[in-house]
Amino acid sequence: MCARFPRDARFGDSRDAKSDSFARELGSRNSRGPAWGEAYVGPMPSSVYPPRTLAAMLGLTVALMLGSARPARSQSGDAPRNLKVLPADLSRDSIVKIMRFTVASGLGVTCSYCHGAPGVPFDSIDFASDERQTKRTAREMMRMVSRINGELLPAITTRGTPPIEVQCITCHRGAPRPLMLEDTLGTVIARFGVDSALATYERIKQRYTGRFAYDFGQRSLNTLAARLLEQNRLADARRVLELDIREHPEAWDPAFQLGQVYESLGEKDLAIAQYRRVLTLLPTHAATKRRLEALTGRAP
Ligand code: HEC
Ligand code: HEC
């Protein structure tokens, strides 16, 4: 039976509580933010879904930022008071749609990630306030996105059709800090060790499978293992590759890599078994055949 990391029995010690909250911090600087940056899962009835301009939004519809096709202007007294990037005369309704469908959902957070303070009910939030660092960063991000879409991409003369605009979600993938899975796990390994990183992997996977934020394909763990091998951290690479092949039993390349790591660690029998596995997955793999022959003294 494959070890499925019984969460509490094996990894439920306080060190993991620490590494877990550390990983969460990596995923979000906002300690009040939802764990791992909870997705914005509010209703999205099509009647509310904004017209085309907003869909292209932030790509914000460069148009919007650069001042051509603008959605409804504000006529009423609740007009936004502190817009420095978005057109200052947008109606509150347009702003809220942008905030909701592009900004909050792109980062997988709720409004309170950037607006409000602990314990402040939604109705009393002062959305114009710049008190929160996350809001101020988001404003810089809007400027960056506007520049990418407004200046940098248009400078490329060979763009495809239709031209694609960058949006918050393009980088953020529904997470407040756009870290790759291998970055998060690599940082946890460096700080808390490989056991904690494997536990973190399980928790992130439980939470994020089926979403865009993390790539649970073999690429992430392969990349992490390659980085560890570069640093000659064989024992850690071994653990990551063992996880990799449990998660992706059909993949031959982490299996071959693991065989090599076993060899380097002097685990001859494990190496042979792993190389044999590779040949069941990819019978023609010449390098594996050579390693098997070297280890067993005869052609496989
Ligand atoms: C990732 C950060 C972030 C999130 C999440 C976010 N906002 Fe904002 N919000 C901003 C920024 C930045 C501005 C200012 C934009 C500018 O300066 O042009 C802003 C401005 C606003 C304003 C205009 C305030 C004024 O009077 O100037 C409103 C209203 C608003 N947000 C509502 C919301 C709502 C509702 C949500 C949740 C659906 C939300 N925001 C989620 C960053 C965020
Ligand atoms: C081109 C890629 C890219 C795009 C597009 C992008 N971001 Fe970011 N964003 C980043 C990176 C990278 C960081 C992390 C910066 C750092 O701290 O090193 C970041 C960080 C942030 C943070 C700080 C999060 C925290 O808790 O520290 C906020 C808020 C944010 N982005 C909001 C936005 C919003 C809103 C948009 C869309 C208007 C956006 N970003 C679009 C790359 C991007």
Q: CA-CA distance, 136 to 80, in Å (whole number)? A: 16
Task: Verify whether ligand 2 is closer than 6 Å to residue 149 (CB atom).
Answer: no
**Integer Rg of the chain from CA:** 24
**Structural contact between residues 102 and 54, judged by C-beta atoms closer than 8 angstroms:** yes
Identify the structural domains of the chain with CATH numbers, from first to last: 7-27+179-296 (1.25.40.10), 52-172 (no CATH)
| Whether the predicted pLDDT of 107 surpasses 90 | yes
Q: What is the pLDDT of residues 145-199, one digit of tens each?
A: 999 999 999 999 999 999 999 999 999 999 999 999 999 999 999 999 999 999 9
Per residue in 243-272, pLDDT tens? 999 999 999 999 999 999 999 999 999 999
Residue with CA at minimum distance from ligand 1 atom 41: 111
- Per residue in 117-134, pLDDT (tens digit) is 878 898 899 999 999 999
DSSP 85: S
Flag whether pLDDT at 224 surpasses 60. yes
| pLDDT for residue 7 | 32
Q: Which ligand is nearest to the CA of 102?
A: 2
- Residue 228: name the closest of 244, 209, 250, 212 by CA: 244
Residue among 11, 13, 33 nearest 176 (CA) = 33
User: Which letter does DSSP use for residue 165 in this model?
Assistant: P
Dihedral, CA of residue 225, residue 177, residue 6 and residue 198, to nearest 10: 20
Q: What gap in Å lies between CA 41 and CA 18, rounded to an integer?
A: 28
Q: pLDDT confidence of 79, banded at 50, 70, 90?
A: confident
Closest-CA residue, ligand 1 atom 42, reads 135
